[in-house]
Structure formats: structure tokens, C-alpha cells
Structure 1
Amino acid sequence: MIEANVLLLFFATSLLLALSPGPDNLFVLAQAAQQGQKAGLLVTLGLCGGLVVHTTAVTFGLAAVFAASAAAFTALKFAGAAYLLFLAWQAFRAGAQTGPSGTVDRLSPGKLLRRGVIMNVTNPKVSIFFLAFLPQFVDPRRGPLAVQFLLLGGLFIVATILVFGAISILAGALGDRLRQSARAQLLLNRLAGTIFAGLALKLATARRF
């Protein structure tokens, strides 16, 4: 089994990585501000579902396919970019829906979870990152590599939930206040759309290395 000090170092590094600005935490921030704290938390769970897929891919060598195949990498990244552009279009066309309590139409939990999963799974850079990052903390002398990879992936997911959960709560609380105003809500929708479009552009122009 991996030594405790190595696990602690990995977990601390994972927290710092989750805190650093990136596509996933910006996506959570935009969704929480636009839809509320619960939405941010559900998207976070969806993203973590995607991380399970990436962890499994690294464990069984599937991530190497995207690192080696330009066609597979390109197809997946453009699928992800197209999905993000679709979300941007939805956000830009959304109007203000304030009532006496500043409520808005909420997406269903299933849709929010799917958004998180699709956002994460269709980003091949995550698989390649895991392929480069996780092996630095495994040791063949410490037991089966598959078990070590799964353990590290689980710790990374825990760190993601902690950081992204905090982002969801803070952004959701701010969004709740802003949604009291129709003008502020329209601004939130435009901001979310801009973030989604920017993430789509970043993903579409991403390179394997």
C-alpha cells in the first residue's frame, strides 16, 4: 500500500490543483451562480463521475490511446467544445425569471449531473493529465498498481468535492442575491454564457502535449 506521507502529499497537491483556476471549477462557479448552490453541488458530483471514468481509463491504460492518437483526441475535444457552445447558446438566450422571491426555473438534478459528467469526460486533457500525474505517486513494490491508481483517483475526487463544494456554496449564495434583480440575473446569464464559450474555445484549441 502507498505510504501515508505519499498519500498526504498527493492529497495536498490535489487540493492546490482543484483551487487553481481551470475549466472545471469555472464551470462549477458559473452554474452555481446562475442556478444556485444545489446546482453547483450536483454539477460537482457529475464532474467527479467523469473523474471516475478518467481514473478507470488510466488504471486500465485507455488514457494512453488519447495520448497517442491524434484522431481520438481531436474527436473528443471537439465533441466537448460543441457541447459547451450549446450551453453558452442556452445561457445567452435565457431571460430573467424573477418572482417575489427571486426564484428561477431550475434544471433537473439529472440534467445538472449529466452536464458535469459530459463536461469532464469530453475533455481529453484530463485523461492525459491523470496519465502523467498519478504514476508519480505509485510504487510497484507497494502492491498492485491498479489498486494504487484507484486509491489516488479516489483521493483526487475527495479533494475536488471539498474545493468545488466550497465554490458552489459561495457562488450560489452570491447568485441568490443577484437573482433578486432582473437586470443582475440577465448579467449572470450573459456571464455564464461567456464562460461556457471561453471554455469551448480553450478546449477546441487544446493540444495533446
Structure 2
Amino acid sequence: MIAALAGLAAIMQQNPLLFELLQYFGAAYLCWLGIGLLRTKITSDSNNQEPKKAASLYLKQAFFVSITNPKVILFFVAFFPLFLRPNASTTTLVAMIVHVTIISLLYQTLLVLLGNSLALKLKAFPFARRIATRLAGIALIAFGIKLAINNR
């Protein structure tokens, strides 16, 4: 979001080819994540501990998905300027960026907590975990394909 406010949105608006390439790159990345989920092996042993990944890895992955999401850029290009006055001070702009960032962080934290709660419940049921993992993989691939098709 901050990159969009800092000028990425303006660059994308001025250069449609760059925006289109970003969309295709984001679509390919979503498909790659989906394929990774489809290839994940789910064992029937509920005591099997999956290797822990660093929180920074998840943060990087989430950032990469967000920054390649053209809807985020379009939001800031189309919607955010409606609330900005041309003569607004830097303090006002920074306050708006901070507010949007905090609201987004709170919302996404809620999603992570709810998703983690569901994941802990599914751990006891390997069949349900397998279905949920496959559905998530299919959904990511479908979103990637839809993004690539809508780009035409």
C-alpha cells in the first residue's frame, strides 16, 4: 500500500505496459503458490510435526502477493485521491497512510488468527486438511488464471 502511495501507482498509470507485466507476474506467482499447495504431501499421522518456517518467510510471501496485486494499485489510483486535497500538508498525507496501514494490519491480523484457529482444528483430521489444502491450491490457480485472462 505504501509503495502505491509513494509513486508506484502513478508509474503504473503512466505506463500501461509495465502495469500489464505486473499483472502477468502476479498471476504467475499466484499459480506457482497454488501448484505448491497441490504438491504438498499431507500425512495421516496427526503427530507428525511439519517443519516450522520463519515468520519472516510468511511476511515476505504476503508482501510479494500484495505488491503484485493490481487491485491494490487500482484502489490507490482511483479511490484514494478522492480524499486528498492538492494543498494537503505532508503531515496529513502521512496520517492518512498510517491510518490505512493500521486498518489493513488489523484486518489481516484477524484473518490470520481465524485461519490459524481453523488450521489447528483441521490438524486432527488429515482428510479435511488434504481437502482444504487442495481447495486452497485450486483457488490460487483459478485466481491467477482469472487475473491473466482479465488482463487481455
The reply to whether TM is greater than 0.5 is yes
Aligned pairs for 1:55-204 within 5 A: 55-57=5-7, 62-97=8-43, 99-101=45-47, 103-144=49-90, 147-204=91-148
Query: What is the alpha-carbon distance in structure 2 between the residues aligned to residue 75 and residue 151 of structure 1?
Result: 32
Stretches of structure 1 lacking an aligned partner (at least 5 in a row): 1-50
* TM-fit CA distance, 1:83: 1.0
Stretches of structure 2 lacking an aligned partner (at least 5 in a row): none
CA-based RMSD: 2.2
With over 3 angstroms needed to count, the CA separation of the structure-2 counterparts of 1:138 and 1:82, relative to structure 1, is same
Which residue does 2:3 correspond to in 1? 53
Aligned length: 152
Q: SS state of the match for residue 79, structure 2?
A: helix
* TM-fit CA distance, 1:140: 3.3
The amino acid that maps onto 1:88 is G
Work out whether residues 88 and 192 of structure 1, in 8 Å CA contact, stay in contact via their aligned partners in 2.
yes
| TM-score scaled by length of structure 2 | 0.85
Q: Which has the higher contact order (CA 8 A, sep 6+)?
A: 2
With over 3 angstroms needed to count, the CA separation of the structure-2 counterparts of 1:206 and 1:64, relative to structure 1, is farther
* TM-fit CA distance, 1:78: 0.8
Which residue does 1:14 correspond to in 2? none
With over 3 angstroms needed to count, the CA separation of the structure-2 counterparts of 1:92 and 1:199, relative to structure 1, is same
Q: SS state of the match for residue 140, structure 1?
A: coil
The amino acid that maps onto 1:135 is P
With over 3 angstroms needed to count, the CA separation of the structure-2 counterparts of 1:201 and 1:100, relative to structure 1, is closer
Residue deviations 1:86-125 (CA, integer Å, cap 9, x gap): 1111100101146454643343323211111110111233
